Amino acid sequence: MENNMQSQEVYNKDVTNKKQRPFIVDKEEYPFKSNWFEKDGISMHYIDEGEGIPIVLTHGNPDWSFLNRNIIKALSGEARVIAYDLPGFGFSDTPENYGFTPQEHVEWISSLLFEHLKLDKFIIVVQDWGGPTGLSVATSNPDKVLGVVISNTWAWKAEGKMFDFSMYMRTPEMQAKIIDENFFATTLMQSSINTKSSSNKAITDAYAMAFPTKESRKGTAVFPAQITLAVDWLEDLEGNLNTLQKKQVELIFGLKDEAVASQNIQDKWRSIFPKAPVQLLPEAGHFTQEDSPESFVFSLRRMMKNLE
């Protein structure tokens, strides 16, 4: 039997909203009050802190808005910082019959940003699967995009180590491991983030507790498979990246990540956005927001200064 008895709590910006968080997270690490976007009877969770230029912080697999907590803390005094949890991730509900494909995630992100928050202009920060999903939203609405910060991600047909990783994660053995053992949010996450974070139980719990049951882990199993299954969609996305070429773009690469910050991937991003400033982080791994939130703060402050 799996333990589903996670404590719940109400900690909402709107005090009349009694929607509960599905698990309790450390308030020092993640002090923000919750907001909820209701659609078709499903609640999508997001953080919305501060005022000024909207900055949208995306996330990928197997994490949630918690990954962006230190960027939110640093910038909410000088901008409006929005960080969502994808359906089935973090505090968000899972829609019925949800396939967890990037296309479905994009629909939810778009609904949140444009129908619910009615954002007119914004900066978007992308990493991991936040790249393809966030950039899909951005390239479909380039007139609304003020700037893009891109870190350890891709937006094209996977090759090399990324291709190999996806094919390995698609094997029945690894799919079972992800579902049965919460492999992505525990073993893989803990081995991929810096030692200070991985040795802090408040942090590792926040990542692991988002997926308490086998059923809740489906999204974490679908994402790695989609790296190679969503090829047509990714190729279409690559063809649309030119819509962002006149925007402010900043590149941040955590160099301990040999798969999604390989030299080939770095070179490809530089060729698409040749004027983009680049930060190379030798001590950061794949989850750059966890390992080096200050590099994002630096890029975003520079971007906002240029927009003044």
- The pTM (predicted TM-score) of the whole model is 0.97
Taking residues 254-258, report their average pLDDT.
97
The residue assigned the tokens 């698609």 is 170
Whether the predicted pLDDT of 2 surpasses 50: no
Taking residues 124-137, report their average pLDDT.
98
What confidence tens digit (pLDDT) does each residue in 201-246 have?
999 999 999 999 999 999 999 999 999 999 999 999 999 999 999 9
Identify the pLDDT of residue 7. Answer: 83
What confidence tens digit (pLDDT) does each residue in 147-181 have?
999 999 999 999 999 999 999 999 999 999 999 99
Taking residues 266-275, report their average pLDDT.
98
Task: Report, in angstroms and rounded to the nearest whole number, the Rg of the chain calculated over CA atoms.
Answer: 18
Whether the predicted pLDDT of 3 surpasses 70: no
What confidence tens digit (pLDDT) does each residue in 28-87 have?
999 999 999 999 999 999 999 999 999 999 999 999 999 999 999 999 999 999 999 999
Average pLDDT, the chain: 97
Share of the chain above pLDDT 70, in %: 98
Q: DSSP string of the chain?
A: --------B--BSSTT--PPBSS---TTT--PPBEEEEETTEEEEEEEE-SSSEEEE---SS--GGGGHHHHHHHTTTSEEEEE--TTSTT----TT----HHHHHHHHHIIIIIIS--SSEEEEEETTHHHHHHHHHHH-GGGEEEEEEES---S---HHHHHHHHHHTSHHHHHHHHHH-TIIIIIHHHHS-HHHHT-HHHHHHHHTT--STGGGHHHHHHHHHHHHTHHHHHHHHHHGGGGTTSEEEEEEETT-TTTT-HHHHHHHHHHSTT--EEEETT--S-HHHH-HHHHHHHHHHHHHHH-
Tokens of 169: 């994660």
What are the C-alpha distances in Å from 303 to residues 76, 120, 141, 151, 250?
Answer: 15, 17, 19, 15, 8
Confidence band of 6 (pLDDT split at 50, 70, 90) = low
In this structure, are residues 276 and 250 in contact, taking their beta carbons and an 8 Å threshold?
yes
List residues with catalytic annotation: 128, 257, 286
* Domains detected in the chain: 35-156+233-307 (3.40.50.1820)
Residues 6 or more apart in contact with residue 96 via CB below 8 angstroms:
none
